[in-house]
Structure formats: C-alpha cells, structure tokens
A and B are shown apart, each in its own frame.
Chain A
Amino acid sequence: MTIYYVYDGSFNGLMSAVSESLSKKTVPENIIPEYYQRENLFGDYISITSDNSKSENLLDTVTRVMGDEALSNILHCHLSDAQNSGIIIYRYISFGLKAGRKVNMHITDDSVKPALDLACKVKKEQHRMLGIVRFRLVENGLYYAAIDPDHNITGIIAPHFSRRMADQNWIIHDTRRNLAVVYDKKKWRSVEIEINHNPEDSDMELFYSDLWRNYFKGITISERKNPKLQKQFLPKRYWKNLTEIN
C-alpha cells in the first residue's frame, strides 16, 4: 500500500514523521507538509503530530551516528522548495544510520546522492544571495532588502549579515514566503510579515543608487560583451530585486 506521512510543515514535524516511519519500518511514498496539494496522490495519508521529544531524540542520534555535516545537509534539504524533500531526507537518514560517519562518502548511492545534490542546490543559492541582496536606506535609518529566493534561505543568510552589517538596522524580506529577518544592531530574529506598501526611500538613497547604476553600466567592456554569460552567472529571475539592472 502507498503511504504518505503528513506533517505540519515545521522541521520538528518532519523529524517526528521520519522517526515514526523508521520505528514502524514502513517506507512511505513521500513525507509532505499539510499545505501541499494532494489531489493527484493516491494512497493512505497518515497525519503526524509534531512531537518535540521524538524529534530531538532522532536529531541526537543523527548527529551522533552520522555527524554534523549530515545534520547540516538535512537542514538544507528541509529548506529547499523540492516537493520530494521529505522522502529524500527520510532515505538519507535511513541509509545514514546504518552507514554512520562514512555516509557522505557514498556520493553515488541512490539514497545519498539526492540529499547531497539537494543540499548543494540550497547552499548554492545561499551563497549567491550573500552577494545579491540589495539594501535601500528607507525611513528611520532602516536598511530594507526584498528578496525572492527559490529556497527558504532567509534564516541561513542572516548570520552573515549580522556580522557584516553589524552597526546598522536592517530587514531582509522574503516576499514570496512573507518571512523576514530583522536585525537591531544587537541580534537578528525571524518574523512573519506582510508589507503591503513598498517602504519609501530616504533622501540620500537616490544619490547612491544612481551612482551604483551608472558605475554598473559603465564597467562593461563593450568589445567583450557577452550577455549570455552574464545570465548564466546571474539568472534573470533574480534581476527584479537588483538595484543596478532594473
């Protein structure tokens, strides 16, 4: 029989579902958050309640047996927008608990490779975003940035910006997920927000953004023009939030 585990969408919920399924020794077809559309999926749906102690137990075991790098991979997979991330994580953990610390050496194994690939995709976007977040100075000395990433990476880029832009107030707003990280010169926190109006620029903003746009335009060496290469490094879907290309 085809079984689907359904959890509340949280990381603890997912870990509870994986734990449940490992202990019952039933391999699910997928493990999905409750907000996914299910019309096309035939089979039995088993709802899992988030259980912190189950989740913590599993994470302890994973860290002890598979190591820190594996835990980081699991977290990155969970942040991806892939529909099958649940089952990928399940298979990775199921294999890894037997393979132990050598799990990440099995890069060609069908239980390991999808997890490594997915984690890598998320890390790649995480790194890219460190470069292409664009702040604007808006009212009240606040630096505001809107982003629209493929994966839910706002929380994992926040530590970088809190170290780097340590002496300014800033917000990074994931407009697709209505999530934001807010930093107040001391620490950052994650909040759910819906900003309907576009925060207005402060007086000096146009001066610096214009300087930057002109700099960007001028730096191209026309004898070497290669827009295809530009798009390869900087896919068009990211352009809308970039000060320099708009």
Chain B
Amino acid sequence: MKTSEKLNILAMSAKYDVSCSSSGSSRENNAGGIGNAANSGICHSWSEDGRCISLLKILMTNNCIYDCAYCINRSTNDIPRAIFTPEEIADITINFYRRNYIEGLFLSSAVFRNPDYTMELIIKTVELIRINYRFNGYIHVKAMPGADPALIRRAGLLVDRMSVNIELPSRESLEYLAPQKTKRNILTSMNDISRNINGFMIESKKAKHTQKYVPAGQSTQLIVGATPEKDSRIIRLSETLYNKFALKRVYYSAFVPVSSDSRLPVIKPPLKRENRLYQADWLLRFYGFSADELFDGEEQNLDPDVDPKFAWAVRNLDKFPVEINKADYEMILRVPGIGVRSAKKIIMVRRVTTLRFDDLKKIGIVLKRAKYFIICNGARFDGKNYNELSIRSNLLTDGKSREENQLLLFNDRPALPDPESLMTAATGEL
C-alpha cells in the first residue's frame, strides 16, 4: 500500500482523538539534532472545524482486537485497515517538521494482537525518531491499558506526554459499550505513569542530570453523551483524576456516531454540553473551584444557557458584590466576566492606582456580566442592586452574549469561561 493511502486511513482513524496540545515541555535541541519543544505550545494550523492542528495525529495501526461500540476502528466495522512501519512514521514526521507543518507527533494505536505488542511497536517507532533521527520536538503517545509496566516506563523516557483513554465516565458504561476493556486496567496504567512521573521528579531534585519522564505530563479523554451519566458525575471524576493522578488535562469529546450499534443513542454531537464541561473543568484547574461547589444545588447537569461560573455566582449572591479595590485574588477570580489574566491585572494595577469602572474596561473586562457582582471604589456600576431573578432575565434576554459563547464552542483548547481567554486559546498558552 502506498504511504499516502496509509496516511489517509490512519489519520482518519485518529482524528476523533481530541488532544492536540503541544505545551508543557521545554525539551531543547542538541548539537546535530533537529527540533525542540516550546513550553507555551504552538498551533500550526486550524482545520475547517476550527480545531487547532499542532501535532501529526496518526495511529500506528487501526487493526483492532477489540469491538468497542462507539469506536470507528472496532473490529466488526467494515473499513480499510492499514499498519505503518516505524520508518514510514519517522520519515513523514521529520519531513513535516522540517517544513514547519507541525510541532511534533501524536502517536496512538488500535490494540493490535495484544497491548504489549502494540506498545512495543510504538516504542520502536519513537526510539527510531528520537535516537536515529535525533529529533527533539514534541511527542505524545498513547499508553495501551494493561500493557507491561516496564514498557510504559520505557516509553515515558522518550516522549513528552503520555495518555491513557478512560473512554467513558463510569465502570458500568465501559462494561456496557467496551466489554473487552476494564476500568481496572485503565486506572492501573494511569497509576503506572503517575508513579513514574513522581519518581523521576524526586530523582531530578537530588541529581542534576537525570532523565526526564513525560515532562509535559499525563492526560486522558472521555466520550460525553454516549452514556447516561450526568455532568456532576463527569466533573467529579475529573476532579478525582486531577487530584489522584495529577493529570494535566482531561479532554471531553462530544459523542459523534461513527458506527451504528443498538446500544448507542441516536443524537447529534452534544457540542454545547461539551463546551460547558470544558468550562467547568477550567474552573477546577485554574479558578479554585471544587466539584461540590459547581453542583451545590439540586441540579446535577450544567446549565446550557449560562456558563458554570455565572451559574454558581447567582446561586451564591450572598458572597457578592466584591470590592474590586480590596477583595483578594481568589474572590476576584470568582466574579463572572473576570478571567485569570484580568484578575492578575487587577491585583497588579491597584497597587499603583485606585480602579474605577472605566479602568476595568481598559483592562479588557466585559462589564456586561461582571457589573452585577462588583463594587468599584464603593459604587455599583449603575447604582442598582440585583437579585438572582433580575440578573438572569437581564442576561438571558441579551442574545448577543449567547452568540459569543457559541463562537467559542469547539476547539482543542476549548472555550474558557471568559471572553478574554479567546486570546489564550489563540496563542496556545497554558
């Protein structure tokens, strides 16, 4: 089979994987080598669905022994199958990289023969690229759940990021749709990676020149909308993964029906829901929220009409308004319409001047939402006090703000709770 045909097949089979991040590693080039990693991450292009393209995202093979209902590569699906040789992958990666098409490689695979065999193929490929081709750019590989811990250890010493897909939000759903996979295997492999990361971190504090193990950290992804779990269950799961395995990212993938199976719902991809989950996820990681706070009411799903930070704020109006010139950073971060960047600016600029509403606009804060929750220099924006009902009705009649939210919908670096973050998404920071 020609290389171009293989690339078509094996890129097609990989594209439903969400992650494309290339940030978090600052691997340097060495003499005679090619490539380095940029800590901020770099986006190289954007496809027609608005997703960032940073890495060459392909499968080693789409020959799979498993028959997971939701997966395009399931063994019973009638699609063309292919397998790359390590040399082919190395050649495409290096030649794409030299032309600055990509930031590096994201190599995943279907489970071919067995998890260990597949893992060995992946390692062989990455060794070829790192050692023979002296490539120092970004590499992300999937670990096959249930693979020998020794293989996971070897792979981690070569790559920048490793991930194990948790696939679905609960054990029951996994048993139902992916009966050949077990939650135990998935969590064991995650735990292997996480223990190695910690181990090497302790080593590197002791000695100067220790090897790096998965310097950009571990991530995972799960499918949303194929199974009945509520948002609260998903966000609690993410919280546990962040706390227990120190994951860098959990990716949420709106279910796209790519194979027909009576166990699957017939729906359009729940993109809005995916967007809200990302926003809630951001609140966990950067805004100091806990899952308990995000679901402190009766409702166990996120409100589709407003972002979760706003929803939390109107449920907790007793904590507002906050005085912009005095409140601490943690509380300013909780004001709807103020993001991490703006909050930091507020803390900085108020050391040299007293902030008025005009100044907030100059900082780039959209007062449309923030105004209900803040006092500036002792005064309300328009002298009025608000209750939950008036805030909601004011904001919901404002169709424009909803439209803006939709623009931010889908994207590898997904929509953040605040408009300012669009810039962050565009520059690929974080």
Binding site for A on B (CB under 8 A): 3-4, 7-8, 11-12, 15-16, 28-29, 32-36, 38, 40, 42-54, 56-57, 92, 95-96, 98-101, 103, 137, 256, 268-269, 271, 345, 348-349, 351-353, 355, 359, 362-363, 407, 409-411, 422-423, 425-428
Contacts and interface: CB of A to CB of B under 8 A. Distances in A.
A216 B53 contact: yes
B44 A226 contact: no
Given A214-B4, A220-B48, A226-B49, 4 more contacts: A164-B36, A211-B3, A216-B47, A224-B269
A227 interface: yes
Nearest to B9: A218
Nearest to A229: B50
Contacts of A113: 362
A43 interface: no
What bracket does the count of chain A residues touching chain B fall in? 35 or more
A102 B48 CA distance: 44
A233 interface: yes
Contacts of A124: 423, 426-427
Contacts of A226: 48-50, 409-410
A234 to B, nearest CB: 5
B76 to A, nearest CB: 22
Contacts of A108: 349, 353, 355, 359, 362-363
A159 to B, nearest CB: 12
A168 interface: yes
Contacts of B40: 127
A215 B100 contact: no
B131 to A, nearest CB: 15
Given A108-B363, A124-B427, A233-B50, A221 B15 contact: yes
A230 B48 contact: yes
Contacts of B52: 233
Contact of A105 (B99, B101, B348, B423): B348
Nearest to A162: B29
B95 A208 contact: yes
Contacts of B48: 220, 225-227, 230
A39 interface: no
A131 B362 CA distance: 29
Contact of A165 (B4, B15, B34): B34
B43 A131 contact: yes
A145 interface: yes
B100 A134 contact: yes
B427 A234 contact: no
A127 B54 CA distance: 14
B47 A220 contact: yes
A105 B351 contact: yes
Given A106-B349, A163-B29, A143 B99 contact: yes
A221 B29 contact: no
Contacts of B407: 228-229, 232
Nearest to B35: A164
B4 A145 contact: no
Interface in A203-224: 208-212, 214-216, 218-224
B101 A233 contact: no
Contacts of B411: 229, 233
A56 interface: no
Interface in A126-159: 127-128, 130-137, 143, 145
A35 B268 CA distance: 57
Nearest to B425: A233
A230 B46 contact: yes
A223 B7 contact: no
26 contacts: A105-B349, A106-B349, A106-B352, A106-B353, A107-B345, A108-B355, A131-B43, A132-B44, A137-B98, A145-B100, A164-B35, A165-B34, A208-B92, A211-B4, A214-B8, A216-B53, A218-B12, A220-B47, A224-B50, A226-B49, A226-B50, A226-B410, A228-B407, A230-B47, A232-B50, A234-B46
